[in-house]
Amino acid sequence: MKMMIGLGNPGKQYEKTRHNVGFQVIDELAERFAAPPMQLKFNGAYTILHRPEGKVLLVKPLTYMNLSGECVRPLMDYYDIDVNDIVVMYDDLDLAPGQLRLRQKGSAGGHNGMKSLIAHIGTLTFNRVRMGIGRPTGGMKVPDYVLSTFSKEELPLIEDMVQRSADACEEWLKKPFLEVMNTFNQQKEN
């Protein structure tokens, strides 16, 4: 079984914010695969897909960003999912809006959701899709920035990035993550 995790915050007020691009990828995958309705358990919303490539768990932790690991670890344990069979999609301040970078390991880079995951999973080595949201300008504080919505100019870049992230996840069902990473990291951004 593979597990695809999108990080974000629950609640209508956070739906279209920069911090919720991970949730947007899960929503896109659920729509693409005509997924069954989400179940609410393990401090998260999740659904199980039965694909020709095997079972896939789509997960949105509902613990709020900073406690994401409190949802993911119990799900991994319950379904006996190996750390090599997870991928995490999350927003990244160090990448320009719309930019995508796939990695197999790394630090949290100051991202509290990733800090929580690393602490609960117990390793820095797991598949991830870093989704660019850019850095705040004009003296805006990071917490306010990540909870803000995208500008009209950024929206097409973000929508494209969400699609490409979902494409990468779909490709991962058929190919090793390293191969997917090499393909998607070489693609040129618009």
**Over its length of 190 residues, how does the chain's per-residue pLDDT go in tens digits?**
999 999 999 999 999 999 999 999 999 999 999 999 999 999 999 999 999 999 999 999 999 999 999 999 999 999 999 999 999 999 999 999 999 999 999 999 889 999 999 999 999 999 999 999 999 988 999 999 999 999 999 999 999 999 999 999 999 999 999 999 999 998 754 4
How many other β-carbons are positioned within 10 Å of the β-carbon of residue 73? Answer: 17
| Amino acid occupying residue 186 | Q
The single-letter DSSP state of residue 19 is G
CA dist 165 → 29, 114, 176, 189 (Å): 9, 17, 15, 12
Sign of the torsion formed by the C-alpha atoms of 35, 37, 42 and 44: positive
98 Cβ partners below 8 Å, 6+ apart? 132, 154, 157, 158, 160, 161, 189, 190
Catalytic positions are 19
CA distance 105 to 163: 23
* pTM, entire model: 0.95
Q: Tens of pLDDT along 162-174? A: 999 999 999 999 9
CA dist 143 → 61, 85, 117, 119, 164 (Å): 19, 31, 19, 21, 26
Q: Is 178 helix (H, G, I), strand (E, B) or coil?
A: helix
Q: Tens of pLDDT along 49-79? A: 999 999 999 999 999 999 999 999 999 999 9
The single-letter DSSP state of residue 1 is -
